[in-house]
Structure 1
Amino acid sequence: MRHKTLTAACLAVGLALVTGCSAASTSAGAKGDSTLTYLTFETPSLTAKFWDTSIANAEKQVKGVSVKKIVAPSTDRDGYAKQLQASGQFPDLLQSITPSTFVEAGLLKPYDQSWVNANFLLPQGNAYKGKVYVPPTNSQIIPEVFYNKKLFAKAGITAAPKTWAQFTAVCAKLKAAGITPMELGGGDPFAASMPLVGILSADVLGKDPRWLQERYAGKVKFTDANVVAAVTKYRAMVKDGYFENGALGVKYADSITNFTSGKAAMYMMGSWFLGSVPKDHADDFAAFLTPTDDGSLVVPFAVGGSMAISAKTADPAKATAFAQAWSLDPANYKALIEGDGAFPMLKGKSLADYGVNVTQVFKDSYTYVTDKNTKVSAFGWATNDDSMPSGLNDAFYAASQALFTSDDVHGQMAKLDSAWDAATK
């Protein structure tokens, strides 16, 4: 796939490429303007209108620049960017990609550190090898455990669990009351992995925040006893019947509808779900973090950001100016906060400064970000030095789905070790 011709790439892109299959390098227009290509993505919250408006607003702030939008046809933006690069179409700007995947190939240009330091709360939050390739504009908690307070009350549950033992007791009590304890959009690999992301972040990274970097150094493995024990918790949830019937066939979008309509009591999902909390009965929902054995609080944290800049762009000054303008536009933050549940990370601003209307569960969740607590990189979601090797996320997702039907926890972890070793040779 990485060696397809330009024609084949055009056919593969189809209608998803809003601007058609043109070369992705910056070009000079008839009036000396620079035309930049910008890889984005679309979701029910971040619609085509959002991207078009945000691009137009940033264009107004940068004289002599025109931006053409490219829309990734799937959630695998890294894979699609690689496909474009292989066919000579690597974009000038790329939204929400994993920097480590491209930095080693010399494809990304770092931001000026003084600009980053001046504008963001955690300047090094998503730095890779000491340099910032994506501005740390926002953050997510991946996952939270969202719950329906009415269904908890119906089952006689009066408080959110703090320990893993309390959590499994809550699951058992809900099941006994005829209520599905946990929603899982297992038909989409990333959604199927959410329980494992929460458990591994809490149990493994909570005790050893440098575990992923130690895995690079060969000091730890997925087959180590502590990792296997953590993953076994997920397998036990499946065997005890705490997920809905046919969970592996439920698509991500349907899992949101199922949970918000009261078909399950809990839902482990990234904090972007906050943008999907129904406004007409938002007070029915609350959230807690994946419980640990001893009740200690571990926040699985991911610092996200806006766009990376191609090191190959023919107009780095204009590309940087556009990226900086977009990254500091308050209107973009309003949309990300309200629609995508993003936690803003601009310096010197409160939620009120963005003019947003958010739910109480959003405000409560945001305190995990602003409070001093134990924050670790959300397993598999980091874009900094804790990011996994290219391709490992897919292997991790596959293991998550496989463990829904297989008792061979050790075997699945051995596959991850082999995939890691192959990816880092």
Structure 2
Amino acid sequence: MQYNKMIRLPLLLLVMSGILSACEGSPAGGNGTVPGGVPQAAQSGGGDPGQTVRFTIAYATGDAATKGAIAAVIKAYTDAHPDVEIQDISVMSSSGYLDWLKIKDALGEFPDLVEMRDTEAFAGAGKIAELPSDLAGLFDNPPQVWGKVWNAPLFASAPQGIIYSKKAYAAAGVTDLPRTYDEFLAIQEKLKAGGITPLAAGGKDIFHMGFWVNKFLIDEVYARDPDWNAKRNAGEVSFQDGNVVQAVADYKYLFTRYVNEDWLSTGDNQTASMLVSGEAAQLFSGTWMFPQIEEADPDFEFGFYAVPDREGKVNVVGLPSPAGWSLSAEAARDSGKTEAIKDFLRFFYDPEQYAVFLSRVNGIPATAEPVTYEISEVMNTALELVADPAVTKSRMLGTWWGDNMTPQQYRNWFYRLLQELVRKDGDVRAYMVQADAEYDRQLKEDGL
């Protein structure tokens, strides 16, 4: 199929963005084989010869492509290292990943190697250890918390945007991509008038809510004031301010008019099939969704673009955050586990193996060493957004740290509040009064 023909990333884009070589600084599993055999960087496990080393691993599983890709790496590693047993304790859940981790911690089952997204909170609680310096050296200026590197990024932050059916756009008479948010809304009206659900939304999974909510928050708040969280923590701004109210009003309007009626009972992993089957014309997600769509229907023709704001500016998720693989503090005290985990991570980030992983999730390399793999045309569009200096890069609500750190539980609470806002057709300003009150309560509870 011409649309899905794989192409090499243009050299000019490589130079502009450093995408497949380095990055300033969620994704269809296979059979676990690594082209060319086992990478030279990881030929032996970390334990004593003849002695089995065991450690547990956990990561967010809401995205099927990333789950499959990580599982494939684990299998490839354990096949090549029979002296190491890796117990994958990750589970599919519609609840928040943070909530699940807290439960595992309370049960005394905190993973030895964990995908960490709330680094400052877990580091402050003594649950994770500083990343060993020899691993930290694999990355180009990874984000630091308190002057220390705690994470090995799985991949660099990728933009989110509209993934659309070319057939649906053509049927609705959409010939040009929107240059402003108002033009985007006009496209939704055309699609709706044609009898198709404009947007597939998977609100059953709370993380999915973050895609649209943060699109509007970035447009109205973070793109204009990256230190808004710090100002909110200091009581200088409010969720009741006009910019936040506008962002939430835009979210409510979109979800009231253009998403599938069963969005609250639809999972994120169902949205790709809704798009491919023609049940919906679009979905809003990231590059990790591309392989899921291609796997569902290799002949399905789709495109990708970032939704502009009202002024025609493009703002996307794209700044690095302290997130990625972290060693638990307990595992770090066990030399055998530590060496085995380090060996596994060296295997994970070996350029040959890492390229296979990234190709499965359409990910952007986070390593300093160059990594090359073939990309699709839609992925090239995403990379152009990353490389474009005119595109504002930002972070999502709960991914800031330092003075801009939000209360640990607030992100998912806020997403659920906004679900209720739509479900009950609530008043935006009244709900933002609740948002402020809860934020202050959690600030005090967290000691921020």
SS at match of 2:114: strand
1:23-422 matches, cutoff 5 A:
34-40=53-59, 42=61, 44-47=64-67, 50-51=70-71, 53-54=73-74, 57=77, 66-72=85-91, 74=93, 76-112=96-132, 115-116=135-136, 118-124=137-143, 127-141=144-158, 143-239=160-256, 241-278=257-294, 280-281=297-298, 284-301=301-318, 303=320, 306-313=324-331, 314-315=333-334, 317-318=338-339, 321-322=342-343, 324-330=345-351, 332-350=353-371, 353-354=372-373, 356=374, 358-380=375-397, 382=399, 384-385=401-402, 388-405=406-423, 406-422=425-441
Unpaired runs of 5+ residues, structure 2, are 1-46
Equivalent pair of 1:152/1:174 in contact (CA under 8 Å) = yes
**What is the distance in 2 between the residues matched to 1:186 and 1:123?**
32
- How far the C-alpha of 1:394 sits from its partner, in A, is 1.7
**Secondary structure in structure 2 of the residue aligned to 1:424:** helix
Report how far residue 391 of structure 1 moved: 1.1
Gapped regions of structure 1 (runs ≥ 5): 1-27
Letter in 2 for 1:361: V
| C-alpha distance 212-320 of structure 1, shift in aligned 2 (>3 A) | farther
Deviations 1:51-89 (A, max 9, x none): 26436527968x975543322453633323322322333
Query: Shift of residue 335 of structure 1?
Result: 4.7
| Normalised TM-score (structure 1) | 0.80
Whether the aligned pair in 2 keeps the contact of 1:38 and 1:67 (CA below 8 Å) is yes
Aligned CA distance change for structure 1 residues 387 and 269 (closer, same or farther; 3 Å): farther
Task: Give the Cα separation in 1 of the matches to 2:339 and 2:92.
Answer: 26
CA RMSD of aligned residues (A): 3.2
Give the direction of change, closer, same or farther, for the CA distance of 1:244–1:87 in structure 2 (3 Å limit): closer
Amino acid at match of 1:372: P
Q: Once the 2 structures are TM-superposed, how far is the Cα of residue 217 of structure 1 from its aligned partner?
A: 2.9
Residue 337 of structure 1: how far off its partner (Å)? 2.7
- 1:298 is displaced (CA, Å) by 1.1
**Contact 2:131–2:150, Cα closer than 8 Å, also in 1:** yes
- The answer to whether the 8 Å contact 2:55/2:87 transfers is yes
- Aligned residue identity for 1:187: K
**Residue 22 of structure 2 corresponds to which residue in structure 1?**
none
Q: Residues 120 and 369 (structure 1 numbering): CA distance in 2 closer, same or farther, change over 3 Å?
A: farther
Structure 1 residues 305-336: Cα deviation after superposition (integer angstroms, max 9, x where no partner): 54111122222542662364144134553454
Indicate the SS of the match to 1:119.
coil
Residue deviations 1:364-418 (CA, integer Å, cap 9, x gap): 1122223434444332352654553211122122123112232311222222222
Q: Which has the higher mean CA deviation after the structures are superposed, 309-318 or 392-401? A: 309-318
- Superimposed CA distance per residue, residues 247-299 of structure 1 (whole angstroms, 9 cap, x where no aligned partner): 32322222221112222222112332122222655672111213211111212
Residues 317, 393 of structure 2: 8 Å contact kept: yes
CA distance in 1, matches of 2:192, 2:343: 52
Q: Give SS of 1:74's match.
A: coil
Change (3 A) 1:249 1:69: closer
Report the CA distance shift for 1:375/1:123 in structure 2 as closer, same or farther (over 3 A): farther
Of 174-183 and 378-387, the range deviating more from structure 2: 378-387
- Distance in 2 between the 1:275 and 1:122 partners? 29
Cα distance in 2 for partners of 1:383, 1:319 equals 31
Q: Does 107-116 or 151-160 show the bigger shift?
A: 107-116
* Cα deviation 1:177-232 (Å, max 9, x = unaligned): 32322221123322234321211112211111222233233322212111001111
Task: State the distance in 2 between where 1:324 and 1:343 align.
Answer: 17
CA distance in 2, matches of 1:368, 1:121: 20
| CA separation of 1:217 and 1:332: change in aligned 2, threshold 3 A | farther
SS class of match (1:141): coil
Most deviating of 300-309 and 228-237: 300-309
Letter in 1 for 2:443: T
Aligned residue in 2 for 1:16: none
